[in-house]
Amino acid sequence: MKAVRHNRQGGNARGRREDGLNTKAQILEAAGEVFADKGFDRATGKEIADKAGTNSAAINYYFGGIAGLYEEVLIAAHQRLVSYEALTAIATTPDIDPQGKLRAFLELVVGALATPMHASWAFRVISREILSPSPHIEALKERQLQPKKLLLTRIVADVMGLPPDHPVIATACFSVLAPCAMLLVADHRLLAQMFPSLGAASQHPRPLVDDLLRYSLAGLAALAAEFPSRRVAATDDGAAKSKRFR
């Protein structure tokens, strides 16, 4: 009897945990929709709770309040658009050359920003926050933007043949990201009207990726050409190390 009672108690505990996870996920999804439509300032905990089919106390219990909920929505939104795990896999795989890694990065980002995903609440929440930052953008920067920036820096530095801490790498990363940022903040219907080929990217993103890659590689090559001594030194050093280990 004790074993049966113990199994029942264990099952009840697991059920409560699963119910709690479901409730937390439902709140996050509902909050994403509300924040995407209204922004942080005009959203209310009651509206979010009603949409999630729960009560305002659950927001405090799972997220510590509406501010904590908004930060988690920002983190989840950016992760859905460009996951840290996917970007890490691109940056660290030894089987892809630097230019291939840059292509994979652009495929990842364009796939998130130019395809039908741009209608998702994740896309709308991030674009709203970028255009009109709240104090909670600091959490987004620390937990998503900064770690991903380091990975992109690594990819761009490898393409240019320069160390990641070289001052020009920041400019280079900015030049790669600028067109991507346009896809994030611009009205897609207006872009499609002005540049019909961009409208086609929502269904067939590869031509846009090809063009952005050519644009990026040309710009990175021009920037890197300003620092040939650093590139030659790095190449010579690498060759010397290679000879030592033969």
Whether 152 shows a pLDDT value over 50: the answer reads yes
Q: What predicted TM-score, i.e. pTM, was given to this entire model?
A: 0.81
Please, which pLDDT band fits residue 123 given cuts at 50, 70 and 90? very high
Q: Give me the DSSP letters along 175-215.
A: HHHHHHHHHHHS-HHHHHHH-HHHHHTTT--HHHHHHHHHH
Residue 226's pLDDT is 86
Per CATH, the homologous superfamily of domain 2-64 is Homeodomain-like (1.10.10.60)
Whether 124 shows a pLDDT value over 80: the answer reads yes
Residue 27's pLDDT is 98
SS3 state of residue 64 = coil
Which residue shows structure tokens 């900064």?
146
In tens, the pLDDT along 198-215 reads 666 667 789 999 999 999
Instruction: Give the ranges where 64-185 is alpha helix by DSSP (H).
Output: 66-81, 84-92, 98-113, 121-131, 137-140, 146-160, 168-185
Mean pLDDT of the chain: 86
Residue 131's pLDDT is 92
Average pLDDT over residues 175-185: 92
Distance CA 158, CA 79 (A): 24
Domain ranges of the chain: 2-64, 79-227
Domain 79-227 is found in CATH 1.20.870.10: no
Helix 2-42 / helix 121-131 crossing angle, nearest 10 deg: 40
End-to-end CA separation in angstroms for the chain? 70
Query: Pseudo-torsion of CA 111, 27, 124, 80, nearest 10°?
Result: -20
